[in-house]
Amino acid sequence: MVGHAFMGTVHSQAWRTVNHAFDLPAQVELAAVCGRDHERVAAAAQRLGWDTHLTDWRELVARDDIDVIDICTPGDSHAKIAIAALEAGKHVLCEKPLANSVEEARAMVAAADKARQAGVRSACGFNYRRVPALSLLRNMIEGGRLGRIRHVRAAYLQDWITDPDFPLVWRLRKEVAGSGALGDIGAHIIDLAQYLTGDRLTGVCGLSETFVKERPLPGAPTGGLSAQGADGAPRGEVTVDDASLFLGRFAGGALASFEATRFATGRRNALRLEINGSLGSAAFDLERLNELEFLDATQPVAEQGFRRILVTEPEHPYMAAWWPPGHIIGYEHTFTHEVRDLVEAIVSERDPRPSFADALQVQLVLDAVERSAAAGSAWTPVPAGDD
């Protein structure tokens, strides 16, 4: 694994526990973790359960006792690490968004396509696909329970930078993160919208804002969502969006609205979705991740109404591995499901999803939204990744 901050920690937990919950065709071993600072990576290895640690990812990629490289670094290093790892014959799991630009994402897809010919697999870490309620919804939509999809309404709301004195962490610097709320959390709802509907966005119209233009420079390197600014620290420019909103149109004709913001005061980590189809509607809220609301419009009108499906039955995706019915799971389990699916795909020689090509399709939407917003909310087509 490369990187050991928030995402590195939650991925470590997934790798460490996946064999406890799932009967996998392979035993996962946590071989080595890589980070730039020797002392910090040594402490992380100890805390997170990795056998060894090192400070140069190139050495990690060159080791022949390693099968999979898990990339949990900021976006500016995804492309170079992923491409080198694939060329060295390592399977790759890369955190989202896949890259900081369409150009990098295309290079990663090319490297993944080439590696696939040698049986080397790759996937992007859009973990919310593995929320059981959302996997269930995907199955329901695929099975036609919602009929023809007309609307997707998606919002990912956070509030961790509403304080203007919150420091200028890497997530607020374009050269490191690629974009702000749009790429960090907007990418999740774009991926979910395309995954759940099995469709792709063909055009968008976007609006972005950076409410706080300058923030105190952090004293020590920090990326946390609860970092503290030093008193009287000089300020630097925020180079990403604090909030981005956009409208979109799907190839199949459905209309969509998206909102990604870090300024929704009081909304800590609220990912909300509603999908309306000709035969029914479904709604989801990450703060109640074990539930899916469903309205079946084929029922007699007098009996219709949204009902709550508690997604904790062994018949539900992933849930047979966990606790008895009614016993809920949480955020971290989505990552366990992610690595479970990856290991199964690798061992059974199948391509895991979301593939780098799926993630490129998200990157193309991010890019189109940025261009649209920069052009005063002009309608902007989204090309297909393989155009």
Question: In whole angstroms, how close is the CB of 225 to ligand SOE at the nearest point?
Answer: 6
Our CB check for ligand SOE shows the closer of 1 and 32 to be 1
Dihedral sign, Cα of residue 97, residue 100, residue 105, residue 108: negative
What is the C-alpha separation between 371 and 272, in angstroms, rounded?
A: 25
Our CB check for ligand SOE shows the closer of 6 and 323 to be 6
Local structure of 89: helix, strand or coil: coil
Side-chain half-sphere CA neighbours of 258 within 13 A: 31
What is the C-alpha separation between 231 and 99, in angstroms, rounded?
A: 34
Among 158, 197, 281, 372, binds ligand SOE (CB under 6 A): 158
The DSSP secondary-structure symbol of 286 reads G
Question: In whole angstroms, how close is the CB of 118 to ligand SOE at the nearest point?
Answer: 30
Q: Look at strands 68-71 and 91-95 and give their pairing.
A: parallel
The DSSP secondary-structure symbol of 303 reads G
Q: Per-residue x/- mask for ligand SOE, residues 229 to 268, rule CB under 6 A?
A: ----------------------------------------
Our CB check for ligand SOE shows the closer of 184 and 370 to be 184
By CB under 6 A, tell whether 184 contacts ligand SOE: yes
Local structure of 341: helix, strand or coil: helix
Our CB check for ligand SOE shows the closer of 90 and 171 to be 171
Our CB check for ligand SOE shows the closer of 140 and 215 to be 215
What is the C-alpha separation between 355 and 335, in angstroms, rounded?
A: 16
Question: Considering only CA atoms, which of 258, 243, 184, 245 is closest in space to residue 209?
Answer: 243
Among 60, 111, 141, 185, binds ligand SOE (CB under 6 A): 185
Residue sitting closest to ligand SOE (CB): 184
Total residues contacting ligand SOE by CB under 6 A comes to 6
CB 184 within 8 Å of CB 158: no
Question: In whole angstroms, how close is the CB of 184 to ligand SOE at the nearest point?
Answer: 5
Question: Which residues in 262-321 contact ligand SOE (CB under 6 A)?
Answer: 269
Question: In whole angstroms, how close is the CB of 275 to ligand SOE at the nearest point?
Answer: 20
Our CB check for ligand SOE shows the closer of 158 and 336 to be 158
Question: In whole angstroms, how close is the CB of 185 to ligand SOE at the nearest point?
Answer: 5
Q: Look at strands 255-261 and 149-158 and give their pairing.
A: parallel
By CB under 6 A, tell whether 6 contacts ligand SOE: yes
Element holding 33 (H helix, E strand): strand 32-34
By CB under 6 A, tell whether 379 contacts ligand SOE: no
Our CB check for ligand SOE shows the closer of 156 and 250 to be 156
Question: In whole angstroms, how close is the CB of 333 to ligand SOE at the nearest point?
Answer: 13
> Going by C-beta distance under 8 Å and a sequence separation of 6 or more, which residues neighbour residue 361?
194, 200, 384, 385
Question: Considering only CA atoms, which of 340, 1, 20, 310 is closest in space to residue 136?
Answer: 310
Contacts to ligand SOE by CB under 6 A: 6, 158, 184-185, 225, 269
